[in-house]
Amino acid sequence: MTTLHDSAFLKAARGETVPHTPVWFMRQAGRSLPEYLKLREGIAMLDSCADPELIVEITLQPVRRYGVDAAIFFSDIVLPLKAVGVDLDIVPGVGPVVANPVRTLADVDAIPDLTADQIPYITAAVQGLVGELAGINGGTPLIGFAGAPFTVASYLVEGGPSKEHAKTKALMFGAPEVWDALMRKISGISAAFLETQVAAGASAVQLFDSWAGALTPGDYVRHVQPHSARVLEQVGKLGVPRIHFGVGTTNLLDLMGEAGADVVGVDWRTPLDRAIPMVGDRAVQGNLDPTLVFAPTEVMTARAAEVIEAGRAARGHIFNLGHGVIPSTDPDQLARLTEFVQSYPLG
């Protein structure tokens, strides 16, 4: 009988020999599943992220359907900001919209710190999930989730999603003292959010930096890396594997690993055979192009095999897509992909 500690996912994250290549999918809990869409009817996104029963059910849905090697906690990058009282909402078709964007030190000072007693629904949901997951496939690990400081800061400064991040960079370059204060504030919030999940039973965490690819390596090192490192260091004290993922971060993979990751997530733009030498003695996660699930099954699985083969060179390899599941994805195709990866011979 296996224990959670011996799960393929956690073994790969630690760089140990695995019984099969573990697989899970970013955004596996969500918009591609008909059972999710039915459950979410008439319920706002942030409301669903604050309801323990909904969080548990949504997180479990893809584990039941696919038999993936890990569950990812259902939440949203901006939920911790909402929890501390920031006036924001997730507008369908747009994304997070902040009513009063951050511009000054006073704006930063107005954002409270996050404590576990502000998010009892997170503790309750994680505890419920850990109990349920213990009985699935001999024990399925739960991955805690939080947005990285740069990405969260960008939403706060821009007031919503942005392609250029012009206001964000203007603050970063033009008012470094405000930027530093904001990043310190957010890193504290992100760390507290992850610590709450781990304290309740999460077996690993992922720090997700959607927009870090907009930065040069020099600007990342100077203005961002120390703050992501602070989050990862705090969580590292709890003894769980830490995954650090960013989009379009080919030029930052080494630096993201050095920020304190045990596992570096690689998006689909960078082949693993290029990424692995960059990340050092760390495991990698990824990185099939999410659009390949729309290709014929034999094309998808052939490309998945290439990813698995390339991943052999890493200290450990967790199979994933190179970004989140696209909403129009056919769940049956993801099931075929999961079965293919888990049954792919490692010998």
Could you tell me if 41 and 112 are in contact, meaning their C-beta atoms sit under 8 angstroms apart? no
| Banded pLDDT at 333 (limits 50, 70, 90) | very high
Question: What percentage of the chain carries pLDDT values higher than 70?
Answer: 99
Model confidence pLDDT, tens digit, residues 250-309: 999 999 999 999 999 999 999 999 999 999 999 999 999 999 999 999 999 999 999 999
36 is catalytic: no
Q: Is the pLDDT of residue 1 over 50?
A: no
Q: Please, is 1 exposed, middle or buried when counting C-beta atoms within 10 Å of its C-beta (0-12, 13-18, 19+)?
A: exposed
| Banded pLDDT at 20 (limits 50, 70, 90) | very high
Rounded distance between C-alpha atoms, residue 148 and residue 162, angstroms: 16
- Per DSSP bridges, beta strands 263-265 and 88-91 are unpaired
312 is catalytic: no
pLDDT on residue 3 = 72
Candidates 27, 230, 242, 282; catalytic one: 27
Instruction: Spell out where 52-147 has E strands.
Output: 71-72, 88-91, 95-98, 142-147
Instruction: Look up residue 68 and give its two tokens.
Output: 């993936």
Model confidence pLDDT, tens digit, residues 79-129: 999 999 999 999 988 989 999 999 999 999 999 999 999 999 999 999 999
Candidates 69, 76, 209, 289; catalytic one: 76
Q: In the predicted model, what is the mean pLDDT of residues 304-332?
A: 97
330 is catalytic: no
Q: Is the pLDDT of residue 324 over 90?
A: yes
Number of structural domains found in the chain: 1
184 is catalytic: no
Candidates 36, 155, 230, 282; catalytic one: 155
Q: Is the pLDDT of residue 169 over 90?
A: yes
- Give pTM, 2 decimals: 0.97
The CATH number of residue 50's host domain is: 3.20.20.210
pLDDT on residue 2 = 52
**106: containing domain:** 4-343
Candidates 40, 65, 103, 303; catalytic one: 40
Instruction: Look up residue 302 and give its two tokens.
Output: 């052939």
40 is catalytic: yes
Candidates 6, 14, 31, 336; catalytic one: 31
Mean pLDDT over each residue of the chain, to the nearest integer:
96
Model confidence pLDDT, tens digit, residues 56-88: 999 999 999 999 999 999 999 999 999 999 999
